[in-house]
Structure 1
Amino acid sequence: MLTKRYTHILSFFLLVLLSVPGLSQGQTTARRQTTAPSQSPANEKRVTGDTITAEVSEALGIIESNYFSGKKIDYNIVIKSSIDGMLHALDPHSNYFDAKEFEQFRTDQRSQYFGIGATIGDLTDPNGKMIGTYIRATFEGAPAHKAGLMYGDKIISVNGESMLGKSYVEVRNSLRGPRGTLAKIVIERHATGKRETIDIIRDAVWQPSIQEAYMIRPGIGYIAMTGGFNQTTSEEFRRAMRDLKAKGMTQLVIDLKDNGGGLVREAYRVANTFLSRGQLIFTQKGRIEGVTEPYYADNPNPETMPLVVLINRNSASASEILAGALQDHDRALIVGETSFGKGLVQNPFLLDYGSMLLLTIAKYETPSGRAIQRDYSDGNLYNYYTGNNGPNGGQGSEQQKGPAALTDGGRVVYSGGGIKPDVEIKPDTIPIEQARILQKLNNPIFAFALDLAYGKVPGQEAYKVDRPIRFAYDLKPEDYPITESLFAAFRDFAVKNYKYTPAQIDKERKFIERTLRAELVTAAYGMTTSFQVFNEQNTQLQKAIDLLPQARKLAQDSQKNRAAAASAVKTNTSNER
């Protein structure tokens, strides 16, 4: 029975592939050589969908009857790996999703998941033993927020199952579940040590694709588009623009770092905010009817404010469509690192049993005609995703090797290997050994912040957070400053409880102050607002802000060029008459 079911899945998968124009069952490009490679094409055996299905069925039957582990075979893994292998022989981005993965894919595109809506975090003792998992923050309007869960609540059990000693992932999975189901949670309040049982009905929890939007400096807005391009992205962006303009925004930084892409239409809509009607945003080219077409802006009144766009090695796909369009039209100054280089377009094909095939059907080009897809010809997925297929090896080493093109203003840009920034700014890095030291410091910082937020640190009662989270807050420099006396109190705590020396704590003072302040801001204003603390020390972001005058000049020159071009067209039209 299992063999028939999974053979049917493969058959349906093959029919989808063979339904692509030019790949009928009798004309598939797949071939198998039955003798030496030098034989004539006339003697080659053409492989049809029926042939493949029959051979797969036979192979599964042999495996089912003879493989040493017998009935322990996980057919889902066997079939999934088979289909993935076929797809990855085509390109790195065609993928097969089983029913569970497909449901998660659809959930992610809706910018939501089902659960209680809280961020959690582990705490261990100096020996690495798990102390417990705690609520770090809740999300506005989510079930956990409505139920009154607070920063520092220790999770004791979920639906009768103890969470003590369990990993972060295990606790998270217990809190998540189908919409409308009950999560009976026993918590221990950090303020009193008392335990309470709270019933929470799981619901849809919004995961915004825009993680943060606020006034980073007077007149300068900042929008962190780091959560991918999902179904709500353009609407989130429209609201962020409206709110920031109401606060006096006249210049903007868009952060696309680590944005892996998503829905192309959402990237188009964001680009349309800044480009004039008739300006090309991107061109899609494929072999299926209706796929090859240009996509033009249709905005009669685009935003004209100076614009800087931040990208890095993990900015991909839809992020690159947005960055490439703004760069080619000289509408934004692109800053950071060369982007990933994904220029292939996938389309979902629904299969039986709730699974889905995400198949590459086209490539896209930026307005200047650039194809930014990085090389994947060696077929090595590890090299492809880590950048080791570059000419010099190593992450981010691939160079743009395609032909040159020109932006509207005549600047030279290149195809292949992603979007190269106009101004390259490397991120701050630290040695691996120091990173390990800093990671260990997170435990005493979190433990100290718990006591601090509940007024349990003598002499530091002013830091007590005794109110519900205030969401959508623009952080001010005077909010939760790390004073000399507070740092001294933390040093004493870490030395006494975590066996650090005073010298070790003083050496990492900058990291400790930033992370401790972020914890307090999380308790008071939520997790997303805490990102503002780290942005204050983000070298790439701060330099991007300093480049806004250059972005202003670029935008002004771009407007002049468009006006001159429009005037020339008008003059030529008049002369022709």
Structure 2
Amino acid sequence: MQWVRCRKRQNVSFRPTMFAMLRRVADPMNNAFRCILIITLLLSGVYTGKAQSPRVARGGEDDRFNIGRGTLFSATASKNQTAEKLKTPYSETILNDIDESIDIITRNYYSSSDARPDILAKSGINSMLRSLDPHSSYYDPPEFEDLIGEQKSEYFGTGVTISDFERDGILESYVISTFPASAADRAGLRFGDRIIAVNGSVVAGLTSREIRGLIRGPLGTTVRLTIERSGKLINFDLRRAKIASPTVTNAFLLGNGVGIIELSDGFSLTTPAEFDAALIKLKSEGMRSLVLDLRGNPGGVLESAIRVAERFLPAGRTIVSQRGRGIYDNRVWKSENRRPETIPIIILVNRETASASEVLAGALQDNDRALIVGEKTFGKGLVQTVIDLPGGGGLTLTTARYFTPSGRLIQRDYEKTGNYDYYRHSDSPDPSTQKVAKTRTNRTVYGGDGISPDKQAVLEQFTAGRIALLDPIFFFTREIIYGRIPGISVSDSPDNPDEIKITPVFINFAKKWPGVSHLTKTDAEWAVSRIRFNLILAMSGNSAAESYRLRNDPVVKTALNFLPDALTFAKSTFTPKSPFSQVK
């Protein structure tokens, strides 16, 4: 995703000739609907008005949507544009039909609650964008505010992480962890605390996402949480503050000079600085090779992924190219690093590794700089530009496509399948239709279907049976912490949960839950590992728990066997080779 903003308050104005089609309805949602419709008409060629772009350093060419790295999106009409040219008969007909349709639906549909104009407009906007591609999306003002906070790796809240768990048919929200030094951490909220009320309002029946919305709020304000802990109700008054939400969630030595950096929460504006800090820390501790974990990384700010790739590629090497409709949507990023890191690298990926994280993996794979281990990535190679809309909402609009250094398209085909199959990876391209390309050392790689790993790794299977175990795992951990499981106490081995013998007791405990009539040996072992993770999370915090998980991760253990291959790649990176070649 490109981090490009279009703010109504910052050099963006709508001339009366263009806004004439928007001003008839004062509701912000309807205005947003009209604005997006105009954008869609412009992209389709129906709406013929040109947009005048602000001047940027690389030239003064005008383009319909001058959206590029470091610039603002502008929807300002050209000075010589007339109202007659902007308001084509076809576009006016569409806008009039929208007005009339919303009016008819809101006045005549049998359910007035379902026929609210804001709901209809939001649904219409998203349907319109979905007809273009699966990744262009509209965000109402609260959602857009969350999106902006994610890209900045911050939000205003108390620093508490909550999740939903069900027992005896009742779904409730519980505290899982707290951010270090946050208001929730200082106040003493703990793993397993059940949330009863927010500011005196009982939250029974609400999901954790809805409760999160109640907990977050303006900077400096106070929120009261009422929780239940071991049968007692406790009130906590917490002052909302800016909460840092780092994307580099863990960095430590696995042993034998091998460091691991977990970068699974996307790429934000702060990711390069976070990554540099992790590298410096690990190198000071003796790191000689690196495992970079991108599993589950959904992408994010493209420039941040490029900066991470640049840490390992010598100056002049291509990182990624971007091809789109506008002048500034077509560019190539090359490394400018004259002193890159030379350590061997293994990158872990899975089917949820997407977008900017695929750009990073593809750049290092095509340059033969890193060994990719795991499973095929998601296959999202579309560039979304973030655009503000009048009224506080916004959208992410696809403006270009990514290509790896060897010229491979990352994006999977989405035109021949529905969204359900697309997101479930039910579709599989015909291998004969995939573009063949060559890496820097002439290895064969394929385009049009994500990034395929150099080495497959056995992945943990998250079956329906294991999903059914999640609730009993959480509640069993909670009972251990409160000292309510006979014969098992955290105090027996506070620093090493592996020594706590819990398997037989848990099996009997779990059988009380629906869908858990029989546990295989493998599932029981998996469940016990999760319980131990939870116990470390409760006793020592998130960082220690994640360290435990990664040290015992079978994919990580498998990846370490391929370190000699990664070393070979590292040596080849700094040896002159022929340029990339492509064949069909």
TM-score of the two chains, using structure 2 as the length reference? 0.80
Separation of aligned partners in 2, 1:497 and 1:296: 54
Q: What secondary structure does 1:419 align onto?
A: coil
Structure 1's 19 and 213: CA in aligned 2 closer, same or farther, altered over 3 A?
A: same
Letter in 1 for 2:37: L
List aligned pairs for 1:149-168, cutoff 5 A: 149-163=189-203, 167-168=207-208
List aligned pairs for 1:198-347, cutoff 5 A: 198-347=236-385
List aligned pairs for 1:556-575, cutoff 5 A: 556-561=571-576
Separation of aligned partners in 2, 1:276 and 1:139: 37
Out of 415, 419, 423, the position equivalent to 2:451 is 419
1:244 is displaced (CA, Å) by 0.9
Separation of aligned partners in 1, 2:289 and 2:344: 5
Out of 125, 134, 140, the position equivalent to 1:83 is 125
Q: Is the 8 A contact 1:446 1:519 kept in 2?
A: yes
1:464 is displaced (CA, Å) by 7.5
1:269 is displaced (CA, Å) by 0.3
Out of 97, 104, 124, the position equivalent to 2:139 is 97
1:382 aligns with 2:450: no
- For 1:447, the equivalent position in structure 2 comes to 478
Separation of aligned partners in 2, 1:72 and 1:129: 27
Letter in 1 for 2:249: Q
Letter in 1 for 2:190: M
Deviations 1:546-574 (A, max 9, x none): 11111001111222235x99xxxxxxxxx
Separation of aligned partners in 1, 2:164 and 2:103: 47
- For 1:181, the equivalent position in structure 2 comes to 221
Q: What secondary structure does 1:119 align onto?
A: strand
1:129 is displaced (CA, Å) by 4.8
Letter in 2 for 1:242: I
Q: Is the 8 A contact 1:257 1:311 kept in 2?
A: yes
1:145 is displaced (CA, Å) by 1.1
1:535 aligns with 2:535: no
1:246 is displaced (CA, Å) by 1.2
Which structure 2 residue ranges, 5 or more long, are not aligned? 1-22, 52-87, 580-584
Q: Is the 8 A contact 1:212 1:529 kept in 2?
A: no
1:405 is displaced (CA, Å) by 1.2
1:412 is displaced (CA, Å) by 1.0
Out of 470, 485, 501, the position equivalent to 1:487 is 501
Q: Is the 8 A contact 1:93 1:360 kept in 2?
A: yes
Q: What secondary structure does 1:184 align onto?
A: strand
- For 1:550, the equivalent position in structure 2 comes to 565
Q: What secondary structure does 1:349 align onto?
A: strand
Letter in 2 for 1:8: N
- For 2:57, the equivalent position in structure 1 comes to none
Structure 1's 207 and 449: CA in aligned 2 closer, same or farther, altered over 3 A?
A: farther
Deviations 1:507-550 (A, max 9, x none): 85523431232122112221232122222332222111211111
TM-score of the two chains, using structure 1 as the length reference? 0.81
- For 1:9, the equivalent position in structure 2 comes to 32
Structure 1's 424 and 51: CA in aligned 2 closer, same or farther, altered over 3 A?
A: same
Q: Is the 8 A contact 2:162 2:174 kept in 1?
A: yes
1:281 is displaced (CA, Å) by 0.5
Separation of aligned partners in 2, 1:165 and 1:15: 40
Out of 471, 488, 491, the position equivalent to 1:462 is 491
Q: What secondary structure does 1:446 align onto?
A: helix
Q: Is the 8 A contact 2:474 2:531 kept in 1?
A: no
Structure 1's 263 and 525: CA in aligned 2 closer, same or farther, altered over 3 A?
A: same
Q: Is the 8 A contact 2:511 2:517 kept in 1?
A: no
- For 2:116, the equivalent position in structure 1 comes to 74
Structure 1's 137 and 67: CA in aligned 2 closer, same or farther, altered over 3 A?
A: closer
Q: Which moved more, 1:522-531 or 1:435-444?
A: 435-444
Q: Give RMSD over aligned pairs.
A: 3.2
Q: Is the 8 A contact 1:3 1:60 kept in 2?
A: no
Separation of aligned partners in 1, 2:523 and 2:401: 47
Separation of aligned partners in 2, 1:322 and 1:251: 18
Q: What secondary structure does 1:290 align onto?
A: helix
1:403 is displaced (CA, Å) by 1.9
Q: What secondary structure does 1:561 align onto?
A: coil
Q: Which moved more, 1:354-363 or 1:509-518?
A: 509-518
1:289 is displaced (CA, Å) by 2.1
Q: Is the 8 A contact 2:480 2:489 kept in 1?
A: no
Deviations 1:458-513 (A, max 9, x none): 68463486xxxxxxxxxxxxx41433xx426x745774897699996978552343
Q: What secondary structure does 1:114 align onto?
A: strand
Separation of aligned partners in 1, 2:206 and 2:110: 34
Q: Is the 8 A contact 2:507 2:524 kept in 1?
A: no
Q: What secondary structure does 1:354 align onto?
A: coil
- For 2:7, the equivalent position in structure 1 comes to none
Structure 1's 144 and 463: CA in aligned 2 closer, same or farther, altered over 3 A?
A: farther
Separation of aligned partners in 1, 2:117 and 2:332: 43
Structure 1's 49 and 337: CA in aligned 2 closer, same or farther, altered over 3 A?
A: same
Q: Which moved more, 1:75-84 or 1:325-334?
A: 75-84
Separation of aligned partners in 2, 1:370 and 1:351: 34
Separation of aligned partners in 1, 2:451 and 2:425: 14
Structure 1's 194 and 22: CA in aligned 2 closer, same or farther, altered over 3 A?
A: closer
Deviations 1:390-433 (A, max 9, x none): 25xxxxxx75833211111111111111111111224122643x
Q: Which moved more, 1:547-556 or 1:435-444?
A: 435-444
Deviations 1:58-101 (A, max 9, x none): 32333344333458622122112222222222222222222222
Separation of aligned partners in 2, 1:276 and 1:496: 56
List aligned pairs for 1:350-429, cutoff 5 A: 350-378=388-416, 380-391=418-429, 399=431, 401-429=433-461
Q: Is the 8 A contact 1:212 1:224 kept in 2?
A: yes
Q: What secondary structure does 2:126 align onto?
A: helix
**Number of corresponding residues:** 518
Separation of aligned partners in 2, 1:122 and 1:27: 49
1:523 aligns with 2:563: no
Structure with higher Rg: it is 1
1:243 is displaced (CA, Å) by 0.9
Q: Is the 8 A contact 1:445 1:512 kept in 2?
A: no
1:288 is displaced (CA, Å) by 1.0
Structure 1's 314 and 134: CA in aligned 2 closer, same or farther, altered over 3 A?
A: closer
Q: What secondary structure does 1:274 align onto?
A: coil
Which structure 1 residue ranges, 5 or more long, are not aligned? 29-45, 392-397, 466-478, 566-577
Q: Is the 8 A contact 1:320 1:418 kept in 2?
A: yes
Q: What secondary structure does 1:229 align onto?
A: coil
Q: Is the 8 A contact 1:401 1:414 kept in 2?
A: no
Structure 1's 129 and 53: CA in aligned 2 closer, same or farther, altered over 3 A?
A: closer
Structure 1's 459 and 498: CA in aligned 2 closer, same or farther, altered over 3 A?
A: same
- For 1:142, the equivalent position in structure 2 comes to 182
